[in-house]
Amino acid sequence: MTIHSVASTPYAGQRPGTSGLRKKVSEFLQPGYLENFVEAIFQTIGDCRGQTLVLGGDGRYFNRTAVGVILQMAAAHGVGRVLVGQGGILSTPAVSCVIRKHAAFGGIVLSASHNPGGPEGDFGIKYNIGNGGPAPEKITEALYLYTQTNALYRISDAAVPDLDTVGVSRIEQMDVEVIDPVSDYAELMASLFDFAAIKALFAGGFTMRFDAMHAVCGPYAHAILEGMLGAPAGTVINGTPLEDFGGHHPDPNPVNAAELIAEMFGAAAPDFGAASDGDADRNMIVARGLAVTPSDSLAIIAANAKLAPGYRAGLAGIARSMPTSTAADRVAKSLGIPCYETPTGWKYFGNLLDAGMVTLCGEESYGTGSSHIREKDGLWAVLFWLNLLAASGKPAATLVREHWATFGRNYYSRHDYEAVDAQAAEAMMAHLRGQLGQLAGRQLDGFTVALADDFVYTDPVDLSVTSKQGVRIVMTDGSRIVFRLSGTGTEGATIRLYLEKYEADQARHAIDPQQALAGLATIAANLSQLKTRTGRDHPTIVT
Ligand code: VG1
Ligand code: CO
């Protein structure tokens, strides 16, 4: 067994985006592509000799190969121990949980999350720091810098141990500890929620459908919902992780989880429905005949948080990404706690959580989570809802409508334009930015612009500044139009247009969101010239 220094070529474009490096599998298959990036991780994170790392992924195509390479490279860099999920599997929230529980130095997550998998699909890799959360920008930028000139990586030629059996083996001087991917996570969930009450709910005949979308949440949902909580077998559908997610987009939204939506809107709908994404950090909550927007879900969880044992002491604060609706802000105000607005991406919540300034965080992109770990957490959100349903005795749709009646409804929708010509998308953003100075005070189709800017975030903890995080046009009535470009796509550019309109009047809470937001969509189309600039006359996906 020898450690080799292998000459490698730097690859352009290894800059981590919103959540790690995501590329087509074909790019990752280039010689030294993965190795070069992993070398950059080891060179950037500080001295991890003798330390413990956590490693696992969402099981997509190339996951197993990458786990082997990373183990051999970790051994070559003197890592003391790697905790690796059985079969190379660990959901993103489970990685975060395991890092924290075992006080590991950090961890590597292999996932392209909601992006499609398989040989023609995407792969991804991300480094998480010792708090269990995604590495902050200063690390990811240093890492990127390193990849640009790196011409060498170090790797052991020792055989990769059996990853399918729980137990400890060795590569060089490094312990490889294959762990059950579910148990630490399940234990944490049981400490936060009233499992006895949820169990009683299921025992009483409550029905649920959980769509794991052939992704990594399957084993977790089977073990927790059907195992620990006694939900009947068949509650979890598409629960076996597949390397290509069965050819589907593992993105839990009403468009991609069409099967679940059809069932929840049908005559024989179960009481409650939910879905999760490729790496199990996203969730969609579906009531009978009503898909709950992620922004509303965050607000409803916040308003009822004290019903869950882990949150009985109340919330320190809430944080939401800038494009997420302001529904949570209204709850924070009524609770007398602060609400922070951060750029898109979970990494921006880390400092606020570490400093104890917030308890709950959420993103409009089906991401919800709390201080229990440092990633968003799909099944956690589902368990939170189950806890609320058990404690309140009310159907999910009633909880939503009552919430709107109390706080008003924030109509919300996101329009995505995928695989747009990158230059045209950049030019559209530049065109929007060019108008920002003249928009305040202008009347636009019945709205008056109160504020127009390109969102800049100053982290209140370390005072780091992140700019150009999305063009936002805020109206005097609180309605908002937000434009930004995705940082997770792998083909051209994806334009995201976020629309929000507040409605206080309960008599007007049952309007079709697209209708309620039509006026704002027209303003957005006119200001951006999206159609003429990109040649697109309708979004690829509306959620
Ligand atoms: C998207 C979402 C963002 C989320 C990120 C990672 O980023 O908008 O809210 O944090 O995906 O989610 P972007 O840059 O494409 O808009 V996951 O579940 O793919 O790790
Ligand atoms: Co995800």
Looking at residue 373, which CATH number applies to its domain? 3.40.120.10
23 and 134: one domain?
Answer: yes
**Nearest atom (ligand 1) to Cα of 277:** 18
Nearest CA to ligand 1 atom 1: 488
Using one digit for the tens of pLDDT, what is the confidence trace for 140-156?
A: 999 999 999 999 999 99
402 and 498: one domain?
Answer: no
How many Å lie between the centroid of ligand 1 and the Cα of residue 73?
A: 28
233 and 379: one domain?
Answer: yes
* Angstrom distance (rounded) from CA 281 to CA 57: 12
130 and 194: one domain?
Answer: no
How many Å lie between the centroid of ligand 1 and the Cα of residue 488?
A: 6
DSSP string, 424-455: HHHHHHHHHHHHHHHHTT-EETTEEEEEEEE-
109 and 190: one domain?
Answer: no
Is residue 305 pLDDT above 80, yes or no? yes
Using one digit for the tens of pLDDT, what is the confidence trace for 237-259?
A: 999 999 999 998 899 999 999 99
Last residue of a domain, one of 361, 387, 406: 406
Ligand nearest to the CA of 134: 1
Cβ 98 vs Cβ 130: under 8 Å: no
Nearest CA to ligand 1 atom 18: 113
Q: Centre a 10 Å sphere on the Cβ of residue 120 and count the other Cβ atoms it contains.
A: 12
pLDDT for position 24: 96
pLDDT for position 491: 84
Is residue 10 pLDDT above 90, yes or no? yes
Ligand nearest to the CA of 20: 1
Is residue 528 pLDDT above 80, yes or no? yes
214 and 260: one domain?
Answer: yes
How many Å lie between the centroid of ligand 1 and the Cα of residue 306?
A: 28
Instruction: Tell me what the pLDDT averaged over the chain comes to.
Output: 96
Is residue 1 pLDDT above 90, yes or no? no
48 and 116: one domain?
Answer: yes
ipTM of the complex: 0.98
Active-site entry in 19, 91, 113, 365: 113
Last residue of a domain, one of 164, 180, 196: 180
246 and 385: one domain?
Answer: yes
Predicted confidence band of residue 66 (pLDDT cuts 50, 70, 90): very high
117 and 246: one domain?
Answer: no
Predicted structure pTM score: 0.95
One-letter amino acid at 189 equals M
Active site residue 276: no
Last residue of a domain, one of 366, 386, 406: 406
**Nearest atom (ligand 1) to Cα of 18:** 14
How many Å lie between the centroid of ligand 1 and the Cα of residue 17?
A: 9
347 and 414: one domain?
Answer: no
Using one digit for the tens of pLDDT, what is the confidence trace for 79-112?
A: 999 999 999 999 999 999 999 999 999 999 999 9
Find all residues with CB under 8 Å of 82, minimum gap 6, and list them: 52, 53, 54, 55, 71, 74, 174, 175, 176, 177
Ligand nearest to the CA of 280: 2
**Nearest atom (ligand 1) to Cα of 484:** 16
Q: Which residues line ligand 1 (CB under 6 A)?
A: 18-19, 113-114, 277, 281-282, 321, 344-346, 363, 365, 367, 486-488, 496
How many Å lie between the centroid of ligand 1 and the Cα of residue 226?
A: 29
535 and 426: one domain?
Answer: yes
- Of 374, 347, 326, 322, the residue nearest 464 (C-alpha): 347
231 and 362: one domain?
Answer: yes
Q: What does the DSSP 8-state code read for residue 2? A: -
Overall number of domains in the chain: 3
More confident residue, 1 or 293: 293
Containing structural domain, residue 458: 409-542
Using one digit for the tens of pLDDT, what is the confidence trace for 144-196?
A: 999 999 999 999 999 999 999 999 999 999 999 999 999 999 999 999 999 99
Looking at residue 522, which CATH number applies to its domain? 3.30.310.50
